[in-house]
Amino acid sequence: MAQMMFWGFVLRFIQCLAQAAPFILTGFVVGAILRRFFGHVETKRLFGGTGLRSLFRAWVIGMLLPVCSLGVVPVIRELRKAGLAGGTILAFAMSAPLFNPLSLLYGLTLSEPAAILSFAACSLVIVTVVGYVWDRMFPNSAEETLQLRGVAYGIRRVLAIAVAAAREASSSSLGYIAAGLAGVALLGAVLPNASLQHAFNFDNAMAPAWMTLIAIPVYATPMLAMSQLGMMFQHANSIGAAFVLLILGAGMNMGLAIWIFREYGFRRTLVWFALLLSVVLGLAYILDKPLFPKDIEPANHTHAFDVYCQPFSPGDPVTGLASRTLEKLDRDINPYEWQSVKLLGLLILSGIVLRIADRRGRLEAWIEAEPVTAGTTRLDIVVPPHILGLISLLGLVILSIAGCYAYYPPAEEVLDQMYIAKGEALSGALGGDVNHTKYWIEVYDDWSRKLEVGVYLRKWHLSDYHRWKARLLREQLELLEHEVEDNEKAEVQKLVSVISRTHQRLRYAFTEELAH
């Protein structure tokens, strides 16, 4: 049992690290841009100072930047140094991980659009109400700021960004990020395998409250949270629980909670969480019935939260857990995620080397030594630092929108990948290989969702007819998974034939019919 808990912890920790790495890297870059391009004065001006205007700007900026609840840590540490009010910082910390252009499109296509837009509007209500009340109760939460020295135009200013990001990557930010990963990994060690499948059914009045208990240690990237929302809507699970998952599961983690406690103390942290949980739970119960999908037959379970439970079943042999962990990591983590982990490791290592070899900050002193002067010729066009920083942040937003088209390929490419996944899933089912079948069913399911989003991105419309084609396929895949687990060979053979026909009809609908 202890070995299973240990390897479950290791597996979940590395899986979440790989998912979070691109967002964490973005967070370090954004923090460095705010520090070196904007500076404390311009950062404070960007966020609007104090009051309701500042809270609204924090929500808007957070909605645009592609960071997660771990990647937001270096950003809020910089906002703290810039002297922003605590309510504004915490509002940004909560709103930034919830939505970005990539995840919003994903959610609008895979869940009920009215529900996703309602969730986005409610997130504004939450950060505004909670942030405003908290600032009124604790008006002196901002730190005094020190004016940063300017950096000369040219290569030094570019180098300053890299140095600032590396320094931050080896600072206490790394500890908060590790604590956030440890929180969700701990759930993967102690929660029994598949134990959350029935906890959030539509008829469970305590589903939003139960979700609140596990959502804070949970870590979910914006994309994962949207995927889980889509599965909850597909199964007609508790909408209130789905809302809590988005706000607290994607917007909060243990590392962030520890940072709030260390920066603002026990009393202020307790008040913040009391306000936050009260508003979130209240809105969850208000939204639960009005947004419940009327055209879907409720299911009594969901697999959306299996990723937070023990990855190994109680009946699995204890021997060979290390090799099975490596096998799962190799199979589940995408190549681009491994590349992001390597880049993150390189950034952290660079920061550690800097801290050891340059404890007195001579590199920063050299960067700041050259006076900030205007160009000497007409060809030397000087861009003010805050304008350059704004362009950089805007570039991140544009890059994330462009990334949508890479992440969601055209229908023809997706259908080719679906054909491969179909062959693997159905052959595994006929052979009775449960693990192989479950893995490829997940891949098959994910490609079916990317198919919908890719079409929507390119045509800005997706009919209910095409949505139902994809939804029917996913429902049949779920039935197949259960039949394979129960070793019902006759039913498996029937479902394999049914899924093959459904796939052909789906392909025809998304190619021939959609073209006309």
Q: Quick one: average pLDDT of 4-10?
A: 86
Q: Over the stretch 51-103, which tens digit does the pLDDT of each residue have?
A: 788 888 888 888 878 788 899 999 999 999 888 888 889 888 888 888 776 67
Query: Which CATH number fits the domain 410-515, given the four candidates 1.10.287, 1.20.120, 1.10.3210, 1.10.3470?
Result: 1.20.120
Closest CA to 104 of 248, 229, 19: 229
Residue-level pLDDT at 1: 67
In whole angstroms, what separates CA 32 from the centre of its chain? 21
Higher-confidence residue: 323 or 104?
A: 323
pLDDT band at 180 (very low <50, low <70, confident <90, very high): very high
Average pLDDT over residues 149-178: 86
Q: How many residues does the chain have?
A: 516
Q: How many helices (H) and strands (E) does the chain have?
A: 22, 0
- Answer yes or no: is pLDDT of 374 > 70: no
Sequence-distant (≥ 6) Cβ neighbours of residue 184 within 8 angstroms: 12, 13, 16, 217, 218, 219, 253, 308
pLDDT at site 112: 65
In this predicted structure, the answer to whether residue 376 has a pLDDT above a threshold of 70 is no
Work out the widest C-alpha separation in the chain, in whole angstroms: 82
User: Which region holds residue 412: left if phi is over 0, alpha if psi is between -120 and 50, else beta?
Assistant: alpha
Burial of 516 (0-12, 13-18, 19+ CB in 10 A): exposed
pLDDT at 385: 66
Domain ranges of the chain: 2-196+249-272+305-405, 410-515
Least confident of 303-312, 366-375, 377-386, 455-464: 377-386
Determine the pLDDT at residue 472: 87
| pLDDT, averaged across the chain | 83
What pLDDT sits at residue 106? 67
Q: How far apart are the first and last CA of the chain?
A: 58
Q: Is the pLDDT of residue 313 over 80?
A: no
pLDDT band at 312 (very low <50, low <70, confident <90, very high): confident
The answer to whether residue 108 scores a pLDDT higher than 70 is no
Q: Which amino acid, 510?
A: F
pLDDT of residue 371: 66
Quick check: 38 pLDDT over 60?
A: yes
Residue 379: which pLDDT band, with cuts at 50, 70 and 90?
A: low
Among the residues of 293-384, which ranges form H helices?
321-332, 335-357, 362-369
Distance (Å, rounded) from C-alpha 362 to C-alpha 274? 45
Q: Is residue 132's pLDDT more than 80? A: yes
Q: Give the helix, strand, coil percentages of the chain, each rounded to 5.
A: 75, 0, 25
> DSSP label at 294?
S
Share of the chain above pLDDT 70, in %: 88
Q: What is the pLDDT of residue 276?
A: 92
Query: Are the C-beta atoms of residues 351 and 169 closer than 8 Å to each other?
Result: yes
For residue 373, name the pLDDT band (cuts at 50, 70, 90): low
Q: What is the mean pLDDT of residues 258-282?
A: 92
Distance of alpha carbon 314 from alpha carbon 318, whole angstroms? 9
Q: What is the pLDDT of residue 268?
A: 93
Nearest by Cα to 153 from 388, 396, 390: 388
72 vs 378: which has the higher pLDDT? 72
pLDDT of residue 127: 87
The secondary structure of residue 361, as a DSSP letter, is -
Provide CB contacts within 8 A for 192, sequence distance 6+: 309, 310, 314
For residue 307, give the DSSP letter. Answer: G
pLDDT digits 0-9 by tens, 315-344: 667 677 888 888 888 877 877 788 899 999
CB 222 within 8 A of CB 97: yes
Please give the share of the chain, as a percent, with pLDDT higher than 90. Answer: 19
Q: What pLDDT band is residue 228 in, cutting at 50, 70 and 90?
A: confident
In the numeric block, the tokens 């809105």 are attached to 283
